[in-house]
């Protein structure tokens, strides 16, 4: 959201944009839940995930808490269910046993919450109070719903049974993309203090000096990853960190999640219930941090740090300014990035030349979340806002930061500054990676 406001007309335009964003999120939520019967909605498809009917009512409950009770100052719609849908009170594995709303009740609940929220929106002055300045709380709730929509998409990927989701294939490659881009040493401005819907962990903007580095122009592809497997990548402990090797052994990892090999030795990838032959130019997806790290070591490189990733994505060396996205400040369109569940898989490398950075780094936004080598830490000057449970309680934990969003991420919940984090063993998320390296003497001058 780039909109600024100064008068009533602008506030009305902002209200219209907010309503549109909320409606878009809800359409996605319903598309992900209306395609399954009640038994499947209530089932737990993986111990890592909630039943989809929990996500659905939790979306409504967060919306009620923040927008009806807090922003609107109104009475509770369902004050009796807060505890059931508090993500910190019940681990995902325990959620199927809770006395949850059934699918019809959950749909009715989220619908009545939304009706009231639109009324709150129409009556709220969108500035003068930090919680609603620029529509922030509404944007936070729209992003929350979109984040759960991506989580629910991951649940769909873990679900077994006949396919229920369909989408057109992503665009084909338009240009050849290979090699790496050198980013000379220097300072850039990381994070943001001005993006009205940026979340607390993206703030504040602050200067960071980044030593020179090289970063791959594209994410690592299935074809490249296959070469790592063929070269014994999963059998060579020297390529793995000690902790990564222990996990690889205990979990029995031999390939990315959802890859299967047929009797003829051909690799297939199962996506949302449909097996398809592996596409060699498609970015690899469903790898954990430890796999990414082992691949990097095999390739003689390393994962980028979070600051390197963001500098590659946002710093324009021509103007020496930091932009919102690799291509500039405009919101992502269909030509720039594979986002928003428009396609249910990553696009081949070279499919989004209009989304490349001015230095020629492609597909940083969309397609696959990219693992970085960095832990999840607050930026200097961080302030928890509006609640500590969004970011603050996760800082310093056993997480690695992922950047850039995936095909499952909505543009509303994806910016050049957006920070995602997860445990290094997780791979049910739409995670891939690209490689970086230090500069050699004489490079980057
Ligand atoms: Fe949530």
Answer whether 139's CB lies under 8 Å from 1's CB. yes
CA of residue 402 to ligand 1 center, whole Å: 18
- Residue ranges covered by each domain of the chain: 8-158, 168-445
What kind of architecture, by CATH, is found in domain 8-158? Up-down Bundle (1.20)
Class in CATH terms, 168-445: alpha beta
CA of residue 148 to ligand 1 center, whole Å: 6
pLDDT bracket for residue 5 (50, 70, 90): very low
Residue 16's contacts (CB-CB under 8 Å, 6 or more residues apart) are none
Residues of the chain above pLDDT 90, percent: 92
The closest of 1, 340, 323, 332 to 139, measured between CA atoms, is: 1
CA of residue 149 to ligand 1 center, whole Å: 10
CA of residue 412 to ligand 1 center, whole Å: 16
pTM of the complete model = 0.96
**Per residue in 183-197, pLDDT tens?**
999 999 999 999 999
pLDDT bracket for residue 445 (50, 70, 90): low
Give, for 405, the enclosing helix (H) or strand (E).
Answer: none
CA of residue 60 to ligand 1 center, whole Å: 10
CA of residue 378 to ligand 1 center, whole Å: 20
Distance CA 214, CA 201 (A): 26
Residue 395 scores a pLDDT above 90: yes
CA of residue 138 to ligand 1 center, whole Å: 14
| Mean pLDDT to the nearest integer, 70-76 | 97
Sign for the CA dihedral angle at 100, 102, 107, 111 comes to negative
User: 8-158 and 168-445 share one CATH topology?
Assistant: no
């Amino acid at each position: 959201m780039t909109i600024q406001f100064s008068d009533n007309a602008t506030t009305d335009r902002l209200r219209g944009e907010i309503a549109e964003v909320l409606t878009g999120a809800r359409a996605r939520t319903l598309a992900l839940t209306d395609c399954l019967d009640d038994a499947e909605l209530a089932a737990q498809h993986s111990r890592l995930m909630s039943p989809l009917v929990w996500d659905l009512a939790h979306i409504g409950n967060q919306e009620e808490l923040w927008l009806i009770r807090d922003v609107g100052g109104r009475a509770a719609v369902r004050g009796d269910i807060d505890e059931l849908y508090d993500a910190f009170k019940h681990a995902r594995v325990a959620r199927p046993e809770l006395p949850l709303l059934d699918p019809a009740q959950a749909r009715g609940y989220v619908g009545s919450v939304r009706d009231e929220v639109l009324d709150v929106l129409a009556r709220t002055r969108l500035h003068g109070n930090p919680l609603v300045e620029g529509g922030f709380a509404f944007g936070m709730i729209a992003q929350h719903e979109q984040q759960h929509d991506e989580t629910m998409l991951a649940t769909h990927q873990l679900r077994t049974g006949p396919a229920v989701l369909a989408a057109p294939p992503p665009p084909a490659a338009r240009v050849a993309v290979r090699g790496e881009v050198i980013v000379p040493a220097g300072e850039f401005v990381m994070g943001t203090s001005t993006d009205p819907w940026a979340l607390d962990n993206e703030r504040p903007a602050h200067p960071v000096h980044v030593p020179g580095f090289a970063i791959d122009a594209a994410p690592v592809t299935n074809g490249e990853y296959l070469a790592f497997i063929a070269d014994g990548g999963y059998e060579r402990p020297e390529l793995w960190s000690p902790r990564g090797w222990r996990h690889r052994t205990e979990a029995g990892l031999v390939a990315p999640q959802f890859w299967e090999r047929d009797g003829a030795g051909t690799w297939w990838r199962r996506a949302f219930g449909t097996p398809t032959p592996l596409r060699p130019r498609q970015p690899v997806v469903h790898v954990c941090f430890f796999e990414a790290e082992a691949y990097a070591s095999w390739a003689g490189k390393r994962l980028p740090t979070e600051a390197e990733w963001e500098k590659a994505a946002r710093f324009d060396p021509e103007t020496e300014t930091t932009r919102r996205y690799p291509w500039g400040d405009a919101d992502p369109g269909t030509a720039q990035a594979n986002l928003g569940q428009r396609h249910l898989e990553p696009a081949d490398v070279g499919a989004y030349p209009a989304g490349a950075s001015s230095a020629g780094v492609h597909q940083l936004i969309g397609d696959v979340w990219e693992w970085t080598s960095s832990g999840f830490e607050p930026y200097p000057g961080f302030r928890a806002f509006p609640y500590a449970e969004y970011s603050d309680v996760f800082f310093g934990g056993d997480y690695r930061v992922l950047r850039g969003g995936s095909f499952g991420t909505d543009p509303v919940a994806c910016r050049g500054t957006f920070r995602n984090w997860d445990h290094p063993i997780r791979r049910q998320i739409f995670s891939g990676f690209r490689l970086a390296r230090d500069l050699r003497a004489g490079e980057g001058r």
